[in-house]
């Protein structure tokens, strides 16, 4: 099939430039006036055509000109409206373009292209998730191990494991009302916020002979505060 005019296949259906069709049909009227008159036959913006701007090709520059990508059905009707030999010739050409586009071979090709594109997108998503999982896996394995061992850690140890400063970690918990300081300045958990996040244990230091209570953080608490701090960052 000889190409009378360039067909654009960049969208989900073939289109043709309005300005190129206007020139090819030998229309004497200015393009803007002609196109406006053609639209009075009931063509809809966004469905039958789509406008776009083109930079001026003049050496001195100039204002961008407006062009339109016309669907093949619209182009066919416009050619029929010209009521001349050129209009008839181009209409026959667009009929052949449409027949080729809707042939079983082309329909199958578009379906395969769409499937391949979908597979590519899915592969990218899977690759991204794989990378994310590899990044998170060491942390996940670490916290799973802590849960299995039911290891209790101090605020200093927990801050170190979460890779934050101890003062910043304690301030975060104070600000969010998970802990408070009693009259002696000792850190204590709020009862309504505890829920398995802390354990208060009796402690004894043989070297100093000190005895008293100490607030420790559970594995559940460490994972909870890790996620909360990630959201706050």
The answer to whether 16 touches 70, Cβ cutoff 8 Å, is yes
pLDDT of residue 118: 74
80 torsion bin: left (phi>0), alpha (psi -120 to 50), beta (else) = alpha
Burial classification of residue 3, based on how many CB atoms lie within 10 Å of its CB (0-12 exposed, 13-18 middle, 19 or more buried): exposed
What is the dihedral sign for C-alpha 171, 177, 154, 227? negative
pTM of the model: 0.47
How does pLDDT run along the chain (233 residues), one tens digit per residue?
567 899 998 878 899 999 999 999 999 999 999 999 999 999 999 999 999 887 655 555 567 788 999 999 999 999 999 989 999 999 999 999 999 888 888 888 777 777 777 777 777 666 666 655 554 555 555 444 444 445 788 899 999 988 899 999 999 999 988 999 888 888 899 888 778 888 888 766 566 665 677 888 988 888 888 888 877 76
Q: What is the pLDDT of residue 39?
A: 94
- The reported pLDDT for the residue numbered 185 is 83
DSSP E strands: which ranges in 64-164?
65-71
pLDDT of the residue at 90: 94
Enumerate residues 6+ apart whose C-beta is below 8 A from 6: 16, 17, 20
Predicted local confidence at residue 108, as pLDDT: 82
Which among 102, 68, 75, 69 has a CA at the least distance from the CA of 91? 75
Best CA proximity match to 100, nearest among 3, 21, 19: 3
What ranges do the domains of the chain cover?
A: 15-102, 104-149, 151-232
Residue 18 belongs to what H/E stretch?
A: helix 18-24
Strand, coil or helix: 3: coil
């Amino acid at each position: 099939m000889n190409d009378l005019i360039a067909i654009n296949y960049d969208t989900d259906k073939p289109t043709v430039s309005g300005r190129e069709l206007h020139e090819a049909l030998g229309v004497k009227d200015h393009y803007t006036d002609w196109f406006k008159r053609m639209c009075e036959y009931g063509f809809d913006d966004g469905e039958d055509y789509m406008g776009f701007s083109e930079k001026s090709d003049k050496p001195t520059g100039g204002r961008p000109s407006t062009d339109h990508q016309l669907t093949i059905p619209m182009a066919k009707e416009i050619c029929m409206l010209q009521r001349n030999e050129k209009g008839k010739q181009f209409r026959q050409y667009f009929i052949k373009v449409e027949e080729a586009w809707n042939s079983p071979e082309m329909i199958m090709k578009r379906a395969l292209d769409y499937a391949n594109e979908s597979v590519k997108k899915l592969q990218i998503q899977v690759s991204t998730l794989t990378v994310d999982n590899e990044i998170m896996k060491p942390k996940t394995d670490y916290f799973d191990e802590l849960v299995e061992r039911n290891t209790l850690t101090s605020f200093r140890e927990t801050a170190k494991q979460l890779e934050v400063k101890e003062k910043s970690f304690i301030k975060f918990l104070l600000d969010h009302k998970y802990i408070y300081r009693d009259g002696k300045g000792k850190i204590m958990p709020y009862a309504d916020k505890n829920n398995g996040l802390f354990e208060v244990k009796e402690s004894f230091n043989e070297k100093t002979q000190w005895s008293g209570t100490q607030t420790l953080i559970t594995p559940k608490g460490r994972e909870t505060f890790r996620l909360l701090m990630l959201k706050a960052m």
